[in-house]
Amino acid sequence: MQKIRCAIAGANGRMGKTLVEAVLATPDVELAAAFDIGDDVEAALAGADCLIDFTRPEGTLQHLDICRRLGVHAIIGTTGFSLEQKQQIEAVARDIPIVFAPNMAVGVNVVFKLLDTTARILNEGYDVEIIEAHHRHKIDAPSGTALRMGEVVAAALGRNLAECAVYGREGHTGERPAPQIGFATVRGGDIVGDHTVLFAGTGERVEITHKAASRMPYALGSLRAARFLREKTNGLFDMQDVLGLR
């Protein structure tokens, strides 16, 4: 079978360099292009089957417009999109196939599945708190992964995350309302990405944790997404689709 020709956006960044390394080490994938800010994106994508993009929302959306014009598949690991920007991605997916996920790591997506099951079982008498930690350079908070964890848990509990989420506490906050889902954010050093969801009950607590020791799991998951899209013509998918976890 012909190799998948992947183009990497943000190639000079931390994640971009890891993606290039992963592509070069993977037999069924080849590097079509690696580009960064100021490069000719259209020329870079002209010879590609798919784009892997872990940059910033505005840049990713510009790249997607070119992908749509050229018929290039897209794997989006960028986080921090607004609701309107997510709707733009949905519109593009009517013309090309896209995998859009807040975290491409296989282990994290297994955790999403575990959280759904756990929340359905621990649906009474347990308070839910989500704690995440990343390196000092991360520009959005909470992380896209933490927010997705909150969405999964809220959906399993029949709650609307927008109505029950609390993003930090300070001062005299009063007693914790039972429906709340709390988020705590840590930023420092070179932490790649740690996420813990805590279900705290009376006399016990359950903690589900994922810790990334490097960025390679995100890159390897992205390549699985590229294989998944090979035969697709359009549609919006996430890593749950890629891994058959629906």
Residues 157 and 72 in one domain: no
Domain residue limits at 110 = 106-212
pTM: 0.88
Q: From the candidates 138, 195, 211, 232, give the one annotated as an active-site residue.
A: 138
Residues 90 and 184 in one domain: no
Check which CATH number belongs to the domain holding 45 and give it. Answer: 3.40.50.720
pLDDT tens digit at each of 246 positions of the chain = 799 999 999 999 999 999 999 999 999 999 999 999 888 999 999 999 999 999 999 999 999 999 999 999 999 999 889 999 999 999 999 999 999 998 999 999 999 999 999 999 999 999 999 999 999 999 999 999 999 999 999 999 999 999 999 999 999 999 999 999 999 999 999 999 999 999 999 999 999 999 999 999 999 999 999 999 999 999 999 999 999 998
Domain count, the chain: 2
Residues 134 and 92 in one domain: no
Residues 80 and 123 in one domain: no
Range list of β-strands (E), the chain: 4-9, 29-35, 50-53, 73-76, 97-100, 127-134, 165-167, 181-187, 193-200, 205-212, 235-237
Residues 91 and 149 in one domain: no
Residues 80 and 25 in one domain: yes
Check which CATH number belongs to the domain holding 171 and give it. Answer: 3.30.360.10
Residues 200 and 184 in one domain: yes
Residues 181 and 62 in one domain: no
Give the DSSP H or E segment for 8.
strand 4-9
Per the CB < 8 A criterion, the answer to whether 131 and 106 are in contact is no
Residues 82 and 154 in one domain: no
Q: Tell me whether residue 211 is one of the annotated catalytic residues.
A: no
* DSSP string for 216-242: HHHHHHHHHHHHHHTT--SEEE-HHHH
Q: From the candidates 63, 134, 195, 210, give the one annotated as an active-site residue.
A: 134
Residues 139 and 226 in one domain: no
Residues 83 and 96 in one domain: yes
Residues 79 and 133 in one domain: no
Q: Tell me whether residue 134 is one of the annotated catalytic residues.
A: yes
Per the CB < 8 A criterion, the answer to whether 105 and 217 are in contact is yes
Residue 165: C-alpha distances to residues 151, 182, 241, 246 (Å): 10, 6, 26, 25
